[in-house]
Amino acid sequence: MITTKLPVRFVDCDAMGHVNNAVYYTYFEEGKREIFRWFTPSMDLGDWKVIVASTHCDYIHEINYDEMITVYTWISTISHSSFDVEHAIADEHGNWHARGRVTLIGYNYKTKEVEPLTDEIKAILRQHQDGPENVPELRQIRGVGETAR
């Protein structure tokens, strides 16, 4: 599990006075910094090796300016060329504010092709599959065919 402390910026908040819903994904992105480093130890942005396939966030409690938040990041599913990154955001009192999941795919930005995860990467990912205690589960998302109109 990766633990990332982040200061909430003034501009992260929208006109409702709380952190905007899109900014939670920026927090998740900061939570993945060490994951990016596993793929690109130099952190050279011209040598990036993952791309985002899908993202999800459940909002539990609003986040306010001048807070210090903690993003917890861990790995769940590991597949041939993709893996799921789980995220949860807590405040300094340990209250949960958000729960999310981001699916990353191994990707070659030059050939624009999906690349399988290497055994070395898979081994590192498997070492980070434990999440925080008492973390809320992701709410189930309905498939389009299941929606009641």
Binding site residues, a copy of itself, CB under 8 A: 6-7, 9-11, 13-17, 20-23, 25-26, 29-30, 33, 36, 43, 45-46, 48, 51-59, 65-66, 76-78, 84, 86, 101-102, 109, 129, 137-145, 147-149
Nearer to a copy of itself, 28 or 90 (CB): 28
Alpha-carbon span 103 to 81, nearest angstrom: 11
In the complex, least distance from residue 3 CB atom to a copy of itself, rounded to whole angstroms: 14
Alpha-carbon span 109 to 79, nearest angstrom: 20
Distances (CA, A) of 80 to 98, 104, 119, 141: 28, 12, 10, 24
- CB 106, CB 116: distance < 8 Å: yes
The residue with tokens 């908040």 is 13
In the complex, least distance from residue 104 CB atom to a copy of itself, rounded to whole angstroms: 10
Nearer to a copy of itself, 22 or 123 (CB): 22
Alpha-carbon span 94 to 92, nearest angstrom: 5
In the complex, least distance from residue 34 CB atom to a copy of itself, rounded to whole angstroms: 11
Nearer to a copy of itself, 86 or 90 (CB): 86
Nearer to a copy of itself, 15 or 120 (CB): 15
Alpha-carbon span 76 to 130, nearest angstrom: 8
